[in-house]
Structures are given as C-alpha cells and as structure tokens.
C-alpha cells in the first residue's frame, strides 16, 4: 500500500505505553501455565528519538525505519530510575537531555518516583560546524557597456532572450513581472552606457514591457517588448511531473531569487531535508522524480531554474534516461552537454554543479552506462570553468568499491536518511570550500 511521505527527523514519533497490572492467566488444564509478571515492577524505556522515516517513492517501493531504545530498565514501582550512565550520540547533534514527550520540551526529573511504565525521549539540538560561514550575497553583474551603439540594449527578460521585440515566458517568469509591474528593471537583461537611467514597467493587460533610457544631453530611447505566455509549450506530458512543476511555480516567492537551486530527478525531490542539510547556505529544491536530462534541457529549466537567477544550480539527473526510458548512454551524454551549454547561455553568471550518478545496489548491470554519462560530465568540466563535478556518491561505497545497501532504500535506487546524510555533507562541504576559496 502506498503511503504519503512522512519525515520526522529531530523529534520522531515512537510507540508510547502506559502502566497496567498484569493478571495471572492459568491454563493448567491444557498442561501449561503462563508465568505471572510482577505487578510491582515498572518498565522505563529510554528512546533515542532519532527518527522515523516513511517514504512513498516514484518507484513504488516503500521503506521504513524506526527509532530505537538506548536501554530499558525494570525497577520496583514507586522507586526512582537512574539516569543512563552514557548519553546517546548522534552525528551533528548535541544531546539535550531526557524528556517526557518526543516533541514538547518536557525535561524529566530523575528524583521522581515511578508509578507506571514510562518512556523517556532524547531531545536533540542540531549543531552547525560551519556556523561561522556566511553565504556571500548575490552581486548584481555590471550593466555598464560603453561599446553599445545606443543608450540601452535589452537582450532578455528574466534570462529568456528577446527576439524581434518579443519574449516567450513561462508562468514563473511572468509572475516576476507582476511582482512590481511599475519597476521591472531588475528582471531585465540589459546593457547601458555610463550615466544612463533606465526605467521599465509591465502591463499585464497589454502583455507588454515599456522602457525608457535617458541621459543628460541626449535624446531618450524608448521601446517596448511584447510578452508571450509560452507555458503551454513548456508543459510535460506526464501529468504527475506536470503537477509538481506547476506547484513549484504556484508557490513562487521572491526569496527564491539569487540563491542556490537544486534541480533534477527523484534523488533531489526526495531530499526533503536539503534546506537543513545545506544550512547556513540558502537553498531551494525544485527536484521532480522521474524526470530526464532532455526534460530539464528543453522545458523545466525555463520554468524552474532560469527565472530565479540562481548564483548556483545543482543537478542530479540522467539516471532515469538509462533505467526508465531506454535512452543510450551516448545520447544521454549529448543531451547533458547541451543542457550545460544552454544553462550557461541563459545564466552566464551562474555556476553549475553536477552530481555524478550514484553507483546503485540494484542496478549494477547498468553501471557501465552510468560511467559513460559520468565521464562525459567529467570531460566537460575540464574545458568549462563554469561547471564543477561532484562525486557525492563515493561515500556510499564499501571498502571493496561496491555500493553499500545500508545507505539505500529497499529499491536499491533511492537513498535512505543515512545515505542523504553522507551525500548531502559531501555537497555542503564542497560548496562552502568553493565559496571560501572565491572570497579568500
């Protein structure tokens, strides 16, 4: 049975209990009896409260893990329970004591006399070893270019090229024009001469951007750009994928602009803790499970990446081309290179990170094809400084080089929480290191 995605990481729910007296059940007539449990004893369980995970995946596979107990004590009723000699441990978290509730702050007093069965829950506070790191602010590229022949040259709107005075925009791009229609200069791609003032506004009823460039001592340059809604041409055939893409566009908010965008297939979409895992960097996740390289290249980038002018875009995509659509590794590699070219063409100031396809426990027979795609990405990186390759999956391998099933769900394709912890840390460490290097 398919289940909705539920992810409770810091304060996961576990089974609770209550005190009750145990009755004597005697079956002597059948030749045996059930041992009487001591009604004057109570059980105190110390739960690590690390998490419970239930994932409904695109693959149709279901996986679940549950919280575990650090220890269980049986003591005399009305006595006090001793605090465990050792505190539980959790990577990147600090233990905040034993509590009566898995979520609510409710410290347990170990001087309390226990009268009924009791479950105590570990509470945690996340530690940030990179708390001194501050993500550099987005720097607007210079628009000054005295080599142009006129006061202003507008090449695009929301990173989509203008052709013959017209621009074809997605819904998310148009929403940016509607934010502050009286001043849309910030979403134009333009060059101006020194000393020029550019103003621009958008009329949704007329579907037109009007602009004016002025400079003291020279005649104003005025013009307009017709906005065409191109969203129908960018729809995905798969209704599930299309619904997810449309939802991202509907929730479109200004804060998503100029930060780090995660894009690609299910390993991105299922990374539900990406925001926390990559903190203190500001990231937004537009992953859609099942999608392919050409879908991002031809349609999704125009809807879910380009309009947001990200400083960085991180892709994990390509595996579905091989295992779902039957596309050859060679063709997938060609589309991947074309996607990199296209992203750079639309976002020349954005750095591209591509996460190599993981080695997958249940797809060892396709590894040679994955290698072709991964090697194509590596070779592209060698001659294009705006692309960085991330081999985040190397931490998911055993010492013998085989993928460790412990870091994957039962389908041998999607990562578990433990896998994401390793995968995500690799990505985070690399991004922060690169930021620091750039600003050294």
Q: What's the confidence (pLDDT) of residue 90?
A: 66
Q: What Rg do the C-alpha atoms of the chain give, in angstroms? A: 28
Provide mean pLDDT across the span 359-387.
97
Confidence of residue 376 (pLDDT cuts 50, 70, 90): very high
Q: What's the confidence (pLDDT) of residue 37?
A: 52
DSSP secondary structure code for residue 304 in this structure: H
DSSP secondary structure code for residue 86 in this structure: S
Q: What are phi and psi of 161, to 5 degrees?
A: -60, 145
Q: What's the confidence (pLDDT) of residue 133?
A: 76
Higher per-residue pLDDT: 310 or 252: 310
Contacts of 134 (CB under 8 A, 6+ apart): 280
Count the neighbouring beta carbons within 10 Å of the beta carbon of residue 179.
15
Q: How far is Cα 181 from Cα 203, in angstroms, rounded to an integer?
A: 7
Q: What are phi and psi of 240, to 5 degrees?
A: -65, -45
Q: Is the pLDDT of residue 4 over 90?
A: no
Q: What's the confidence (pLDDT) of residue 51?
A: 57
Q: Report the Cα 163 to chain-centroid distance in Å.
A: 34
pTM above 0.85, yes or no: no
Start-to-end CA distance of the chain, whole Å, equals: 53
Q: Report the Cα 261 to chain-centroid distance in Å.
A: 8
Pick the CATH number of 235-438 from 3.40.50.150, 3.60.110.10, 3.40.50.1110, 3.40.190.10: 3.40.50.1110
For residue 325, give the 3-state DSSP assignment.
Answer: coil
Contacts of 409 (CB under 8 A, 6+ apart): 55, 57, 61, 63, 415, 416
pLDDT tens, residue by residue, 213-270: 999 999 999 999 999 999 999 999 999 999 999 999 988 677 889 999 999 999 999 9
Angle at 115 between CA 114 and CA 119, to 5 degrees: 60
Half-sphere CA count of 418, side-chain side, radius 13 A = 14
Q: What's the confidence (pLDDT) of residue 57?
A: 41
CA 307 → CA 241, 255, 343, distances in Å?
Answer: 19, 12, 12
Count the neighbouring beta carbons within 10 Å of the beta carbon of residue 131.
9
Q: What's the confidence (pLDDT) of residue 219?
A: 95
CATH of domain 6-126: 2.60.40.4270
Q: Is the pLDDT of residue 203 over 90?
A: yes
**Contact of 324 with 362, CB cutoff 8 Å:** no
Token look-up 């299309």 returns 242
Confidence of residue 102 (pLDDT cuts 50, 70, 90): confident
Q: What's the confidence (pLDDT) of residue 230?
A: 97
Torsional class of 345: left (φ above 0), alpha (ψ -120 to 50), beta (otherwise): alpha
Name the nearest CA neighbour of 292 among 334, 346, 248, 352.
334
Mean of per-residue pLDDT scores for the chain: 86
Q: What are phi and psi of 327, to 5 degrees?
A: -65, 140
Query: Worst-scoring range by mean pLDDT, 88-102, 112-126, 334-348?
Result: 88-102
Q: What's the confidence (pLDDT) of residue 29?
A: 43
Q: How far is Cα 44 from Cα 82, in angstroms, rounded to an integer?
A: 10
Q: What's the confidence (pLDDT) of residue 305?
A: 97
Token look-up 């996340």 returns 126
Question: 390 has which bridge partners?
Answer: 355
Q: How far is Cα 201 from Cα 180, in angstroms, rounded to an integer?
A: 8
Question: 144 has which bridge partners?
Answer: 192
Question: Judging by DSSP bridges, how do beta strands 62-65 and 52-56 pair with one another?
Answer: antiparallel
Q: Is the pLDDT of residue 156 over 70?
A: yes
What are the boundaries of each domain within the chain?
Answer: 6-126, 152-229, 235-438
pLDDT tens, residue by residue, 188-199: 999 999 999 999
Higher per-residue pLDDT: 415 or 66: 415
Q: How far is Cα 131 from Cα 283, in angstroms, rounded to an integer?
A: 16
Half-sphere CA count of 81, side-chain side, radius 13 A = 24
């Amino acid at each position: 049975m398919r289940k909705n995605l539920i992810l409770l990481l810091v304060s996961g729910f576990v089974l609770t209990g209550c005190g009750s007296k145990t009755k004597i059940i005697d079956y002597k007539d059948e030749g045996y009896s059930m041992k009487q449990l001591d009604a004057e004893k109570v059980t105190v369980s110390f739960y690590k409260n690390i998490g419970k995970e239930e994932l409904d995946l695109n693959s149709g596979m279901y996986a679940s893990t549950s919280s575990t107990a650090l220890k269980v004590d049986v003591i005399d009723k009305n006595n006090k329970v001793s605090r465990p000699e050792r505190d539980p441990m959790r990577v990147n978290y600090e233990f905040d004591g034993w509590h009566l509730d898995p979520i609510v702050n409710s410290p347990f007093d170990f001087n309390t006399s226990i009268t009924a069965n009791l479950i105590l829950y570990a509470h945690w506070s996340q530690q940030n070893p990179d708390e001194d790191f501050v993500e550099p602010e987005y720097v607007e590229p210079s628009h000054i270019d005295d080599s142009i022949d006129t006061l202003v040259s507008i090449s695009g709107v929301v990173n989509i090229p203008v052709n013959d005075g017209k621009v074809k925009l997605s819904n998310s791009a148009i929403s940016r024009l509607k934010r502050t229609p009286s001043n849309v200069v910030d979403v134009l791609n333009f060059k101006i001469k020194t000393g020029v003032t550019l103003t621009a506004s958008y009329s949704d009823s007329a579907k037109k951007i009007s602009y004016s460039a002025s400079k003291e001592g020279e005649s104003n340059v005025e013009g307009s750009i017709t906005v065409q809604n191109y969203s129908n041409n960018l729809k995905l055939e798969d209704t599930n994928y299309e619904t997810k893409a449309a939802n991202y566009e509907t929730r479109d908010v200004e804060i998503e602009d100029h930060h780090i965008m995660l894009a690609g297939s299910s390993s991105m979409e299922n990374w539900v803790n990406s925001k926390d895992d990559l903190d203190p960097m500001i990231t937004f996740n537009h992953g859609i499970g099942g999608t392919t390289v050409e879908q991002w290249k031809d349609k999704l980038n125009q809807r879910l990446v380009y309009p947001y002018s990200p400083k960085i875009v991180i892709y994990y995509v390509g595996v579905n081309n091989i295992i779902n659509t039957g596309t050859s590794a060679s063709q997938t590699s060609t589309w991947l290179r074309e996607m990199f070219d296209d992203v750079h063409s639309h976002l020349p100031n954005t750095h591209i990170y591509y996460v190599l396809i993981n080695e997958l426990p249940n797809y060892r027979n396709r590894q040679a094809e994955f290698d072709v795609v991964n090697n194509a990405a590596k070779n592209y990186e060698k001659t294009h400084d705006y692309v960085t390759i991330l081999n985040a999956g190397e931490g998911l391998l055993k010492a013998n080089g085989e993928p460790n099933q412990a870091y994957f769900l039962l389908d041998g394709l999607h990562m578990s929480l433990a896998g994401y912890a390793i995968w995500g840390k690799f990505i985070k460490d690399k991004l922060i290191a690169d930021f620091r290097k750039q600003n050294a």
